[in-house]
Amino acid sequence: MQSVAIIDLGSNTARLVALEFEPERRFQMVDELRQVVRLSEGMGEERRIRPEPFERAIDALRTFRSYCDAAHVQHVHATATSAVRVAVNGAEFVTAARDRAGIDLRVLSGEEEAGAGVLAVANSLPFSDAVVFDLGGGSMQVSAMQDRRYRAGRAYPLGAVRTTEEYLAGDPPKPKHVKALSRAVRRALEDDLAGLPRGVPVVGMGGTLRNLANVALQAEDPTPALLHGYRLKRDRLSALVDDLVAMPVEARRDVVGLNRDRADIIVAGGIVIRTLLEQLRADEVVISGQGLREGLFYPYLFPRGDHLAPDVRTFSVWNLEREYHDHPAHDGHVRDLALRLFDDLRPRHGFGEVERGLLAAAAVVHDIGMAIDYYAHHKHGMYLVMGRPLAGFTHREQAIIALLVRYHRRGTPSEQGLGALLEAGDMQLVRVLAGILRVAEYLDRAKSQRIQDVRCADPLANPLRIEAASRTEAHVEVQMAHLRSDLLAAALGTAIEVVPAAAKAAGA
C-alpha cells in the first residue's frame, strides 16, 4: 500500500484528503482535514489576496504539512485554484506556502481544474457522456465529457463567495439584487453553452451544490442518505433557493443538512446553479460526491493512459471486497457458478443483462461481513454495502446488491428498510437472485472450488434438476446446496434437486 495526501486550496475552503492505495487494484480514504479560509474574501476588482485570508490559508497549509509529517505520507499533491490563479499576488502566496508552510503548491489552470472534475465523474458514475460543472468559491467550471473524457470546458467568475460579495450584500438579500445576479449569470453563460451536448446527464460537484442537495435529501428523511448519485430536480432546487433567499443568515445556519459556515454564501451559489440548469434546459442535476480531489488522485491509482478504471462498476465492487474480506478465489468462483445458473435459468426467470450484473456484483462482495464476525456476516455485509455510495451503481441497484448479500446465507427476503429505493417487482428479483446466489455459495461450502461447473439442462422442468460437476468427492457442497435451495425453489415455483453430475464415460 502507498499513501498520498491531496491538498485542494480553494477560494472558500482548504481541504486535505489522505488515501491509501495499490495502483490498479484498490484504494481507501483514511482521513480528511478541512478549514474554511475564504481566500477570495474581499479581493474585489483589485484581485489581491487580503492579509487576513492570506494568513488563514498559510496557517491551514502549515496544519496540513504537520499532518503529513506525522502520518508519514509518501506523496503530497498540493494544488490551488481560482483565488490564487487570478490574484495579482498569487506568486507571492505560492512562495509563502513553500517557505512558511513547507507546501509546494501547483496552481491549476481552469482547464486542468475542469479536467480533474471530469475524471472524477468518469471514475465514479455510470455515464459515458455528460455536462459536468463544479461550483467553487471563486469560479465555476462547465465542461463537456464525451466517452468518459474531458473534451472542452470553460471557467466562469461565478463562484459562491465572489457572487455573494458582488451582488448580495443585504441580509436577507433584496429581490432586486437576486434578479441582478440571475441576469448576470445568464449574460455570462448564454453565448457559451450552445456548444455543450444536449440530452445527456448534467452532473454537478462542489460544496455549495452538495449542501443544497443534502438539505433536499434530509427533508425526504431517507434511509439511507446517499448523496453521490442523488438526482436533485430543478423545481426542487428552485423552491429551496427561494426559501433560503427569504431567510437571514442566522436562520440559514439552523437549516438541517446545511453546513453552518456556508450559510452566508449558499444563496448566491444556489442562484448560479439554478440559472445554469435553466440555460441548459436540464430538469435535474446528478450530484457527484467526488470532485477535484478525487480527480487529482486517480492518476496515482490508474497511472497508465487516461487514468480511467476499465469498468467503474467492476472496479468498485472488487475495491469493496479487497477492503474488507479479500478472498478472490472463493468470491470469484461463487460469482462464476451463480452466473452459470442465471444463464441456464433464463427461460424460467426472464431477467436480462442488467440483473445479471447485479448478481455478479453481489457475489463478489457477499462475504465482506466476515470482516466483522462470522456469525451474522450476511447482516453485517448488507450494512457495509450500504455504508457508502457504490461507484457506478444507482441507489436502487446498490439496495438490491445489499439485499442479495443480506440473504445469500439464510432467511426470507424483506425490504430491510430499503423500500424507498426499490421499484415495483424488485423484491421478486431479489428472491430469484438471492436464491441463485445461495445455491452457488453452498456449492463452494468448503471454499476449495471443488465444484468445477454447474448446469441445468432443462430449466422448465418440475422438479428442476441442478447438476454439479467435480473431479473429486464433493459431498458436503452438493448436500448443503440441495438443503439451501428452498429460497430459489419458492421464487421459481418448483421443487429443486441438486445432484452430482453423472460421470463421463471413459474416452468421452
> Are 200 and 316 members of one domain?
no
Question: What's this model's pTM, rounded to 2 decimal places?
Answer: 0.93
CA distance 2 to 222: 36
Domain limit, last residue, from 449, 470, 489:
449
Which among 209, 197, 219, 193 is positioned nearest to 160, based on CA atoms?
A: 209
- Residue 228, domain member (yes or no): yes
- Residue 498, domain member (yes or no): no
Helix (H, G, I), strand (E, B) or coil at 172: coil
> Are 276 and 182 members of one domain?
yes
| Total tally of structural domains belonging to the chain | 3
> Are 187 and 98 members of one domain?
no
Domain limit, last residue, from 63, 90, 108:
108
- Residue 477, domain member (yes or no): no
> Are 28 and 139 members of one domain?
no
Which CATH number fits the domain that encloses residue 47? Answer: 3.30.420.40
What would the grid cell of residue 385 be? 454495502
Q: How many residues does the chain have?
A: 508
- Residue 491, domain member (yes or no): no
Which CATH number fits the domain that encloses residue 411? Answer: 1.10.3210.10
Which CATH number fits the domain that encloses residue 221? Answer: 3.30.420.150
- Residue 365, domain member (yes or no): yes
> Are 119 and 197 members of one domain?
yes
> Are 59 and 128 members of one domain?
no
Close Cβ partners of 419 (under 8 Å, ≥ 6 residues apart): none
- Residue 400, domain member (yes or no): yes
> Are 274 and 422 members of one domain?
no
> Are 102 and 117 members of one domain?
no
- What dihedral angle (degrees, nearest 10) is formed by the CA atoms of 380, 383, 387, 393? 110
- Residue 279, domain member (yes or no): yes
> Are 119 and 87 members of one domain?
no
Which 3-state string (H, E, C) describes 243-296? HHHCCCHHHHCCCCCCCHHHCCCHHHHHHHHHHHHHHHCCCEEEECCCCHHHHH
Q: Regarding beta strands 202-205 and 284-287, do their DSSP bridges make them parallel or antiparallel, or are they unpaired?
A: parallel
Order of all β-strands in the sheet with 105-107 = 26-36, 13-22, 2-9, 75-80, 105-107
> Are 152 and 62 members of one domain?
no
Domain limit, last residue, from 52, 76, 108:
108
> Are 93 and 120 members of one domain?
no
pLDDT at 508: 39
- Residue 392, domain member (yes or no): yes
> Are 54 and 143 members of one domain?
no
Per-residue pLDDT of the chain (508 residues; tens, 9 = 90+): 999 999 999 988 999 999 999 999 999 999 999 999 999 888 888 899 999 999 999 999 999 999 999 999 999 999 999 899 999 999 999 999 999 999 999 999 989 999 999 999 999 999 999 999 999 988 999 999 999 999 998 889 999 999 999 999 889 999 999 999 999 999 999 877 877 888 999 999 999 999 999 999 998 876 677 899 999 999 999 999 999 999 999 999 999 999 999 999 999 999 999 999 999 999 999 999 999 999 999 999 999 999 999 999 999 999 999 999 999 999 999 999 999 999 999 999 999 999 999 999 999 999 999 999 999 999 999 999 999 999 999 999 999 999 999 999 999 999 999 999 999 999 999 999 999 999 999 999 999 999 999 999 899 999 999 999 998 999 999 999 999 999 999 999 999 999 999 754 333 3
Where in the sequence is the domain holding 262, given as residue range(s)? 111-292
Close Cβ partners of 221 (under 8 Å, ≥ 6 residues apart): none
